[in-house]
Amino acid sequence: MSGDVAPQRLTPGQRAGRFAALGALIVGGFFPFVWMILTSLKSEGELQQFPVQYLPSRLDFSNYARVFSEQPFAQFFLNSLTVSLLSTALCIAAAVPAAYALARLNIRRRGVLMTTIVTFSMLPVVSLLVPLFRLMRGANLLNTAPALILPYAALSLPIAILTLVAFFSAIPRDLEAAAMVDGTTRVGALTRVVLPLSTPGVVTAALLVFVNSWNEFLLALSFNTKLSMRTVSVGVTLYQGEFAFPWPLIAAAVVVATVPLVLLIAVFQRRFVAGLTAGGVKA
């Protein structure tokens, strides 16, 4: 399986190999998610069969109704949306000016600053868990949205800055120089020249922060323990009883929780892959 081959020179064998490789990638990537959709449409009785019955005999959407009736899942969803959007906004608002300064201005010890930012991006969240917990408790922020927004914005900030620095650095300096000769200020050059040109970078960084915040589990599990303040990632774990795992119900919750991400990916996949590979990613 070789990477870089012009399509017209393929032998049938190579064509089959390529088909198999792509097929494996697509099936492997989608299967677990598709399996959850199938599971969510089955009834509990239908599930308890072995050999497994692959397709549900009739589509049973009642699990989706139960997702919302057995737990306040709509509230979880709203909480996740609020927390993720606000932490994204906060993070990007702090990252854009910082990245511009790092990419463009004469800063002494720029290298040291960049190294520090990289180091911040590698801090283990779980090491911050207890001190952050106490900090939030001290500030009376437990069970409020800011208890998650602040750490999410801060935790994603290093990777947002690094991504944006990569994008800003790729924009020719002459463009700003020309604008500044024409009489605009540095800040004017940033807002009127650099920012419009780096929209793809800002979108990539924002999506990264959003996905990180939507997916975060540990802090959400520990800081916001009140049911009405739970987020989706914690919410999906709440359907398991003490002894039972109602899998069709859990599967339906999983599907609902993942839909926003699947939509984002489907819409932005081209830009996403280009942006992530250009800016450097962190899992």
Closest CA to 88 of 191, 195, 207, 264: 207
The Cα 110–Cα 113 span in angstroms is 5
Question: Is 127 in contact with 138 (CB distance < 8 Å)?
Answer: no
| Residue 210: both structure tokens together | 């959003």
Instruction: Establish if 196 lies at the interface with another protein (CB under 8 A).
Output: no
Closest CA to 147 of 156, 159, 135, 158: 135
Which residues 138-157 are close enough to bind another protein by CB under 8 A? 150-151, 153-155, 157
- Sign (positive/negative) of CA torsion 75, 80, 85, 87? positive
Instruction: Establish if 244 lies at the interface with another protein (CB under 8 A).
Output: no
Closer to another protein at the Cβ: 141 or 227? Answer: 141
Stretch that binds another protein, among 55-63, 70-78, 129-137, 171-179 (CB under 8 A): 129-137
User: Site for another protein (CB under 8 A): which residue of 129, 142, 197, 203?
Assistant: 129
User: Site for another protein (CB under 8 A): which residue of 12, 28, 45, 172?
Assistant: 28
User: Site for another protein (CB under 8 A): which residue of 81, 142, 180, 203?
Assistant: 180
Which residues 61-100 are close enough to bind another protein by CB under 8 A? 90-91, 93-98, 100
Closer to another protein at the Cβ: 227 or 238? Answer: 238
How many Cβ atoms from other residues are within 10 Å of residue 149's Cβ?
22
Instruction: Output DSSP code: residue 44.
Output: H
Instruction: Establish if 134 lies at the interface with another protein (CB under 8 A).
Output: yes
